[in-house]
Amino acid sequence: MRAWSALMLQRQFRAVFGTTVFAYLRECRLLRARRALEHDGVTVGQAAMVAGYTSAANFATAYKRRFGHAPKLARSRV
């Protein structure tokens, strides 16, 4: 019964928000890291931690895929 509830939640979430739960969470975390880079001047490693990544390289890849540029460029705008 529990698996069915999770499936229904996922379907309803996607119907309302147009994306998966995990994609939504990733987007929120990347946006939080972007704000930290642009406004607080944190390092790329610190921004990776803010976004919940244990690897700065994996964070940089996800960041570039989402925003179209490397996270160090966002930091240099501070």
pLDDT for residue 13: 94
pLDDT means over runs of 10, the chain (78 residues): 79 95 97 95 95 97 96 79
Tokens at 54, concatenated: 């244990």
pLDDT for residue 6: 86
pLDDT for residue 38: 93
Tokens at 53, concatenated: 């990544």
pLDDT for residue 21: 94
The alpha helices in 18-55, defined as continuous H runs, are: 21-35, 44-50
Determine if residue 68 is left, alpha or beta; phi over 0 gives left, psi from -120 to 50 gives alpha, anything else beta: left
pLDDT for residue 3: 64
Q: CA torsion angle for 76, 46, 64, 61 (degrees, to 10)?
A: 140
